[in-house]
Structure 1
Amino acid sequence: MLPNFLGVQELDAQQRSKVYDELSSASHPDFDFFFMVGLSAIIATFGLLLNNVAVIIGAMLVAPLLSPVLSLSLGAIYGDFYLFARALEAEVKGILLAIIVATMLTLLAPGAESTYEILIRTSPTPFDLIVALAAGAAGAYAFSKERLSATLPGIAIATAVLPPLATIGIGLGLHRFDIAGGAILLFLANLIAIVVASAIIFWLLGFGPRFSKIQEAETMNRLRISFILLILISVPLVYLMVNALNEEALRTTVEETLNSQILGMDDTTITSIHYEEIDGVLHVEATILTPEPLTSSDSVRFQNALENVLKRPVAFELDVVRLTVYNVEAEPS
Structure 2
Amino acid sequence: MSIKEEQETIKEKIKKMFSLSEDSASNEEIRTRLLDGGKVTGTNMCVLVCAMIIASVGLNMSSTAVIIGAMLISPIMGSILASAYASVAADYPLLRKHALGFVVQIVISVTAAAIYFFFSPVKEPTVELLARTSPTFFDVLIAFFGGLAGIIGQTREDKANTVIPGVAIATALMPPLCTCGYSIANARWDMLLGAGYLFIINTYFIFLSAGIIISVLKIPKMRELTEKEWKRRRFRMFINTIIITLPSIAAVFVMIQ
Cα distance in 2 for residues equivalent to 1:192 and 1:227: 12
In structure 1, the residue matched to 2:190 is: 178
Percent sequence identity is 29
Question: Quick one: higher RCO (CA 8 Å, sep 6+), 1 or 2?
Answer: 2
Cα distance in 2 for residues equivalent to 1:131 and 1:85: 27
Cα distance in 1 for residues equivalent to 2:197 and 2:119: 26
1:1-333 matches, cutoff 5 A: 8-10=19-21, 15-147=26-158, 149-207=161-219, 209=221, 212=224, 214=226, 218-219=229-230, 221-246=232-257
Shift of 1:201: 0.7
**Number of aligned residue pairs:** 242
TM-score in terms of structure 2 length: 0.86
Q: What per-residue deviation string (whole Å, max 9, x for no partner) do you get for residues 89-129 of structure 1?
A: 12101011111111111010113220111111100000100
* Partner secondary structure for residue 59 of structure 2: helix
Tell which deviates more after alignment, 59-68 or 154-163. 154-163
* Partner secondary structure for residue 151 of structure 2: helix
TM-score in terms of structure 1 length: 0.68
Bigger Cα Rg: 1
Higher helix share: 2
Kept in 1, the 8 Å contact 2:53–2:113? The answer is yes
Higher strand share: 1
Cα distance in 2 for residues equivalent to 1:142 and 1:14: 10
Shift of 1:66: 0.6
RMSD: 2.4
Q: Decide whether aligned partners of structure 1 residues 86 and 8 sit closer, same or farther in structure 2, where only a CA change above 3 A counts.
A: farther
AA at the equivalent of 2:83: L
Shift of 1:155: 1.3
Please list every run of 5 or more consecutive structure 1 residues that lacks an aligned counterpart in the other structure: 247-333
Please list every run of 5 or more consecutive structure 2 residues that lacks an aligned counterpart in the other structure: 1-14
